[in-house]
Structure 1
């Protein structure tokens, strides 16, 4: 039940689900188009996902299972399964780093998570979600090309 979910009436089938977080608990990445805009990248490339915190908190700051990406409809940005169905929701795909790289941080609290995308994602769109151990989320949406 996301922030923008709507209960509807007392009927069972008039609810509108959502998976977004409260606006005060989410932020955008540096050097990326702000949500809900789509960033275009080549599928298979490494994408630097940069964000800033007030201070350098070290590298042990991610929530369990973070970061991840999931397939979304390019027009609505709703999560979808590869077969096109809306439910059940697809399992998020754990983000991986290219080669031997890993997340880094500078003295001013600017973080960089290098995200290795999959060449098979060409022609699709995905949401990238990085959740901190505080529950704060950074999100961005991507359209993948060949």
Structure 2
């Protein structure tokens, strides 16, 4: 049976530190009264009150007279692009922690840290997980062109 090396103990301590800090963040967000993951993953959407045919109506539900502006209200609606971005962030975080722990073990053993230039393209490709969110924000920047 081989003895436990310093590098292995260091990697375990750092990994537990990361896990404990993530659990503390989760607990503080779960216990927060004024914060909600649902709200954080939602975005504001302006809605117009309409009848069954899609025509704008007033507060009572009667058709609007010509020239009167429709009633709009802003509601928070779930955003799939924000959800995908959150999942991508967690996945990339796990990859960075994993590779970081592997490099930390090699460094603590006195070995050379491998050249990560080839692995950087792998991490850059992770940006694709944020594409729906980026496209959504980019398209909303040009919403003033809509009639």
The TM-score range, normalised by the shorter chain, is under 0.3
User: Higher RCO, 1 or 2 (CA under 8 Å, sep at least 6)?
Assistant: 1
What TM-score results when the alignment is normalised by the length of structure 1?
Answer: 0.20
Whose helix proportion is higher, 1 or 2? 2
Q: Highest Rg: 1 or 2?
A: 2
Whose strand proportion is higher, 1 or 2? 1
What TM-score results when the alignment is normalised by the length of structure 2?
Answer: 0.20
